Structure formats: C-alpha cells, structure tokens
Amino acid sequence: MDRIRSLGFVPIVTMGSLAADSHAQAVQPPLFAAFKSFCVNTGAGPDAVKPAVEMAGGKPFKEGATSIPYPMTTASWLITIDGHKMTVAAVSSRAPYGPGKTAGTAQCDITSDANEDSSIAAIQNWVGVSPYRSSIDGPNALTFYDYQEQGSVRLPLPTDKATVKSIIEAGHSWNLVVIKSQGMASISLTHMLAVTPTD
C-alpha cells in the first residue's frame, strides 16, 4: 500500500504582528508551542484551529475553497510568537473512497520565517516514531512520518497492509511532514478522518 501523502499545502510566509501567550512560549520553543496549541490540541480540525489561533492573537490572512478535483477548504492566519513570524493554515477535504464511501482529511500547517532547530527537535521527539522517508528538495530538507494514534499514544503503522487499511478507515492514521530550510521551517500535520458513507 502506498504511503499516505499530505495535501502538500505549504503557506507563503508574510509578516504578522501579534504575540501569543508569553508564558507558554517561555516553556517551549516558539514553533513547537504553536504546533501543540494550534495543530495537536485541536486535532488539526479547522473549526478548532480557527478559535485557537485567533484567541492567541492571530489575524486572518487568506481563505478559499474549491470543488475540483474534490471539495477542499483552506484558511490561514498571521501570528507572531516570541518574535517568530508565522503563518498558520487549516485545510479540510472530502474525497471518494470506493463505492458509496467518502474519506476526509483535516490538515494544520505552520510556516515560520525564523530558525526553528530547537522546535523541530522537540516535534521529532514528540512524534516518537521513526520517519519513513527523508529527502532534499532544493534548499529544503523534508522528513515524513506516518503513525497511528490510539488514545493519546502514537505508534508506528504496522507492515500488514490489511491492518493499515483498517487503521486508516477507522480514523486513527496521521501524517507529519517537517520541512527545514536555512532561516525557515514548516510543519504539516494531517489527520485521515474515518471513512463514512457518501451523503
């Protein structure tokens, strides 16, 4: 079975001006704190990402929707955390998954225009599973993780294809992409939602 791929949405970074909660940022490196607050604690769901970012001082940036090749929505915000200017984006999609079934994704992306080495190390430690692939794309170093969540525990996906399929269909499968470049970093967390009957 092919590895799960994220939607690949990496927002363009522009300048933000508001600061998030300073206490949280004093404890954790900025991008990791944003990742936990806006992506992890919200389950990457757009309806939860929006209030989390805006309550932290994020300002709406861009939003849009398309129905081609399948329904997808995106919204983004600008925010500054501990002096690190970031763009946070929430993406949702619904696509056919075999006869009479639909599969959805909820995706949370954060791009920072600062050096985020300490945050990337914290995120890689947080995910707790080995990457399935790493690559270089021009100036960018990309690392890809697939894992399952059972409760609050993150586990590697098994090698058995049928078991992986059942994990995906039950909505327990996640994908994390870490992109690192000189002076910037981007994190993309995608939740493969449970397969449901087509409306």
Strands 72-81 and 173-181: unpaired
Residue 17 lies in a domain: no
Amino acid 193: pLDDT: 96
Closest by CA position to 32, among listed 76, 77, 81, 74: 81
Residue 15 lies in a domain: no
Residue 72 belongs to some domain of the structure: yes
Which residue from 43, 32, 39, 63 is spatially nearest to 53, judged by alpha carbons?
A: 39
Counting the structural domains of the chain, the total is 1
Confidence at residue 198, expressed as pLDDT on a 0 to 100 scale: 87
In a domain, 28, yes or no: yes
pTM: 0.85
Q: For the chain, report the end-to-end CA distance as a whole number of angstroms.
A: 27
Q: Is residue 71 included in any domain, yes or no?
A: yes
Rounded to an integer, what distance in angstroms lies between the CA atom of residue 62 and that of residue 57? 16
Rounded Cα distance, 178 and 141, in Å: 8
Strands (E), the chain: 59-66, 72-81, 84-96, 101-112, 133-137, 140-150, 153-156, 173-181, 184-192, 196-197
98: in domain: yes
Residue 36 resides in a domain:
yes
Domain of 115? 22-197
Alpha-carbon dihedral 77, 68, 2, 40, rounded to 10 degrees: 20
Q: Report the alpha-carbon distance of residue 163 to residue 173 in Å, rounded.
A: 11
Q: Give the Cα separation of 198 and 168 in Å (integer).
A: 17
Q: For the chain, 199 residues long, give each residue's pLDDT as a single digit of tens.
A: 344 433 333 333 332 333 334 344 347 999 999 999 999 999 999 999 999 999 999 999 999 999 989 899 999 999 999 999 999 999 999 999 888 999 999 999 999 999 999 999 999 999 999 999 999 998 999 999 999 998 889 999 999 999 999 999 999 999 999 999 988 999 999 999 999 998 7
**Residue 142: strand, helix, or coil:** strand
Is residue 16, in this structure, part of any structural domain at all?
Answer: no
Please list, in sequence order, all residues whose beta carbon lies within 8 angstroms of the beta carbon of residue 32, skipping any fewer than 6 positions away.
118, 119, 122, 123, 126
pLDDT at 12: 32
pLDDT at residue 195 in the model: 95
pLDDT of residue 1: 37
Contact, 190 vs 171, CB < 8 A?
A: no
Helices and strands in the chain: count of H runs, count of E runs: 5, 10
